[in-house]
Structure 1
Amino acid sequence: MRGIVRKWRPPLALVVGGALVGVFALPILGLVSLRLWGDVLGWGEAATLVVVLALVATTVLGLLLWRLVLRPVYALTDYARAMKAGEAPQAPTQFGTPEFSALGASVMAMGNSLHSRAEGMKAYSDHVAHELTSPLTAIRGAAELLETAPPPDDAATLSTTIRAASDRMQTLLDDLGHHARAGTSAGPGTSRLSAVAADLPEMPLDIGVTADGAVPLDAQDLHTILTQLARNAAEHGATRLDLSVLEAGIQVTDDGPGISTGNRARIFDPFFTTRREQGGTGMGLSIVRSLLAARGGRISLADSIQGAAFLITFD
């Protein structure tokens, strides 16, 4: 989406005030002009001139109101209707007054957030059934075999299969719940990186803050984000996680094996994981992305000599 072009425009109060002054002043000016020119040009010619000047002034005022008020309202209305219909409209880039620019930016940000949530729900419908099919099939098959009264050793193996499949389903459902709650978490706020990092759950890796500072996120949201990133790093073999507050946002780096070129474009997709055999659900980074999108933030891969590096930025 293109950003709003910042150009000087008169504030809405000046536009409305100017229109009111024009409405009030035009009749008075017409009467004065008719009085002054009536004896010189004749009353008929003077009246015609006053009418022409009034029409010109009214036309100019109408064009200004259309340019500065009506056109931005129509453009923003069309954009909102297209977003509601599920389309991907071209966002307006110019608005008539600073007030409409602020309103337009807010509406477009809201539209992007809703569009992001809609894409997340579509991802659920596309992937949840597929992810739950495997454990359900294992449970159904094991249950059918148990009905045939197999030997004790086989029965124990089938029971283990059912428990493992049930645990897998529970893990998937838990992660789906985290993902769904990511868009409706604590809300706007500010927290300190070091304070939140000190409260992270214990994991098999060292977490250090190399550059501390304030973060435009509620402590609960930041805790969820850092927990998911730390867990993701630990599960992929990292032993160290470094957190830094930069001018651009937050940088998170680890000393793990890094992310291969072929996987870089997919790591934020729901259910994408390279650890499926070890129980990975592929929801951690998707949870982080959804939570940040709901708070006006973004996460992206950053360049790193060793390990994986992520950059979190905010609007």
Structure 2
Amino acid sequence: MRAPRVKSKWRPPLALIVYAVLLTVMMLPVLTVIWFRVVRAASGAMAPAEIATLAAVLILTLIVAYVLTRTLTVPINALIARTDEIARGGRSAIRPLEIYGTREVATLSQSFLDLAGKLVDHSDYVRSFAAHVSHELKSPLTSIKGAAELLRDDDDTNPMSLEQRNRFLQNIIADTERLDRLLSRLRELAKAELPSERGSTSLRDIVAQLEIQFRQLAISDESNAEEILALPSEAAGIIFSNLAENAFQNGATTLAIKASDEGRRTTIRMRDNGHGIADGNRDRIFEPFFSTRRDDGGTGMGLGIVRAMLASHGGSIELLDSGKDGTAFQIVLPNAA
């Protein structure tokens, strides 16, 4: 979507308005003196004291106008120039101004820096994400194309065996299933990036749904009371099903969930008895498309989707510990209203 453009027409600069207003105010005593001299028919010559007073008023007016221009116009023009530089791709332009002038301009500048930083980070994220998606789609598409070409070019004089044909067909089916899983994950990630809708879900309902969805896991709710989470049912389903699937794919047979109310936030701890996460992978588990199960069909997007969706609802997730006894995650959410 193209950004709307401000209608082009002449507008006075801020400095001109400041000087014009102050000079107009300064003219009031001058006009007053002239008025009284005309009314009283006084001598046309002005006393030296009057001339000195008007000169002092003029000088003070110009000084005030300069101060106002220095504290308002200069930082605003610098902020405009900084915006143009960032728009041209200058990451180095995201730095504090040299002069702020007033508290309001300083606050505006800080808000601008925060917004510019987020926009640049988001742009880098989109660029990196697009590269990852292209790479992930290219592998199965290349495999499908190769298998299809071999089937198409099968020579009638020396046809491939039924076993070979079935193997190629099975490869095509497996790759299409991988593409379907990847596209499904992308749809979930798109939902996570959208502005969140408010809602709440009972932890008991979440556990009951997980028990139906993952019958291979023994899922238990260790909470002392029924907890209401500040998540709409759809978002809660996506978040906890991804975590449960991650536990199951890592060899877990049990999954314990415990929620507790801690003032203005709700903390949920999830612990499984799976194989754990290798030390070298702990810092990468939330990276998009990072997976240790790629040969088994893993997309590496599950935990990334969980983190993005929690962030859109004001929450967060972190890895507490992981070892031979299993893995523990902690989710923090604001309290449900």
Instruction: Answer yes or no: same fold by TM over 0.5.
Output: yes
Residue of structure 2 aligned with 1:160, choices 159, 162, 170: 170
Does 2:303 match 1:309? no
Shift of 1:285: 1.5
TM-score, reference length from structure 2: 0.65
The secondary structure found in structure 2 opposite 1:42 is helix
Counterpart residue number, 2:257: 242
Residue of structure 2 aligned with 1:269, choices 279, 287, 299: 287
Superposed CA offset, 1:90-122 (max 9, x none): 3549794459737953x5565455445434432
Instruction: Tell me the distance in 1 between the aligned counterparts of 2:235 and 2:78.
Output: 37
Does 2:296 match 1:278? yes
Residue of structure 2 aligned with 1:101, choices 107, 121, 132: 107
The secondary structure found in structure 2 opposite 1:308 is strand
Counterpart residue number, 2:196: 187
Code of the aligned partner of 2:133: V
Unaligned runs of 5+ residues in structure 1 are 1-18
Deviates more, 1:161-170 or 1:86-95: 86-95
Counterpart residue number, 1:259: 277
Question: In 1, are the aligned partners of 2:96 and 2:113 still within 8 Å (CA)?
Answer: no
The secondary structure found in structure 1 opposite 2:164 is helix
Instruction: Tell me the distance in 1 between the aligned counterparts of 2:107 and 2:162.
Output: 73
Question: In 1, are the aligned partners of 2:243 and 2:302 still within 8 Å (CA)?
Answer: yes
Which structure is larger by alpha-carbon Rg, 1 or 2? 2
The secondary structure found in structure 2 opposite 1:125 is helix
Deviates more, 1:231-240 or 1:280-289: 231-240
Shift of 1:226: 2.7
Unaligned runs of 5+ residues in structure 2 are 1-18, 37-44
Superposed CA offset, 1:150-176 (max 9, x none): 222333333222222221222222223
The secondary structure found in structure 2 opposite 1:122 is helix
Instruction: Tell me the distance in 2 between the aligned counterparts of 1:282 and 1:135.
Output: 15
Instruction: Tell me the distance in 2 between the aligned counterparts of 1:98 and 1:117.
Output: 27
Superposed CA offset, 1:227-277 (max 9, x none): 322322232233214253545664443223332221122212221111122
Superposed CA offset, 1:258-309 (max 9, x none): 3222112221222111112221110112223334455665544345685132
- Change in Cα spacing, 1:108 to 1:58, as seen in structure 2 (3 Å) is closer
Counterpart residue number, 2:56: 49
Greater relative contact order (CA < 8 Å, ≥ 6 in sequence)? 1
- Change in Cα spacing, 1:29 to 1:265, as seen in structure 2 (3 Å) is farther
Question: In 1, are the aligned partners of 2:321 and 2:327 still within 8 Å (CA)?
Answer: no
Deviates more, 1:270-279 or 1:142-151: 142-151
Superposed CA offset, 1:131-156 (max 9, x none): 33443344344334442432223333
Identical-pair percentage: 28
Instruction: Tell me the distance in 1 between the aligned counterparts of 2:304 and 2:234.
Output: 17
Aligned runs of 1:122-133 on 2, under 5 Å?
Answer: 122-133=127-138
- Change in Cα spacing, 1:120 to 1:64, as seen in structure 2 (3 Å) is closer
Q: How many residues are treated as equivalent by the alignment?
A: 289
Does 2:238 match 1:231? no
Counterpart residue number, 1:90: 94
Question: In 1, are the aligned partners of 2:178 and 2:297 still within 8 Å (CA)?
Answer: yes
Aligned runs of 1:69-84 on 2, under 5 Å?
Answer: 71=75, 74-75=78-79, 78-79=82-83, 82=86
Counterpart residue number, 1:176: 186
Question: In 1, are the aligned partners of 2:201 and 2:232 still within 8 Å (CA)?
Answer: no
Instruction: Tell me the distance in 1 between the aligned counterparts of 2:64 and 2:95.
Output: 33
Deviates more, 1:285-294 or 1:267-276: 285-294
Instruction: Tell me the distance in 1 between the aligned counterparts of 2:127 and 2:78.
Output: 30
Instruction: Tell me the distance in 2 between the aligned counterparts of 1:196 and 1:92.
Output: 49
Question: In 2, are the aligned partners of 1:297 and 1:312 still within 8 Å (CA)?
Answer: yes
Counterpart residue number, 1:6: none
Code of the aligned partner of 1:271: F
